[in-house]
Structure 1
Amino acid sequence: MTFAKVLGNRSKTGAVDAKMLYTLHVLLTEEDFRIPEIDEIAEQLEKEMEAYAEDHEKTQEV
C-alpha cells in the first residue's frame, strides 16, 4: 500500500501532493531510511552463481 493511500489521498494536484510530501517528511527521521551498502563480494558471487546456473542448464539439455 502506498503512503498516499494510507493517508486517504486519491486526488492528484500540486497542493495535495505538496501536503502529502510534507506529512511524509514530518513523520520520517534519519533513522527511518538509509542508503544501502553494496557488498562487492556478494555482487560478484551472485554473478558467478548466475553463470554457473546458465552453464548447468545448458549441460542438462544435452
Structure 2
Amino acid sequence: MNLELSEEQEAVRRLAADFVAREVAPHVVAWDRAEEVDRGIVKKLGDLGFLGLTVPEEYGGSGG
C-alpha cells in the first residue's frame, strides 16, 4: 500500500503552506493578542479553493 501523497495532494499541501507563510504567520502575534483573526482571511481561503474541499462538486464544493 502506497501512503505517499499524490502529485495533486502535494500541490495542495504546498499551496496551503505558502498561504500560511504569506497570509497567516506575519499576523499571528497580533491576532493572538487581540484574540481575533482578520475575517478577510476567509475570503482569501475561498479564492484559493480551500473552503468546501470535502463537498462534492455538484453541490458547489471542490470535490476534494
TM-score (normalizing by structure 1) = 0.29
| Higher RCO (Cα < 8 Å, 6 or more apart) | 1
What TM-score, normalized by structure 2, do the two folds share? 0.28
More helix by share: 1
Greater gyration radius: 1
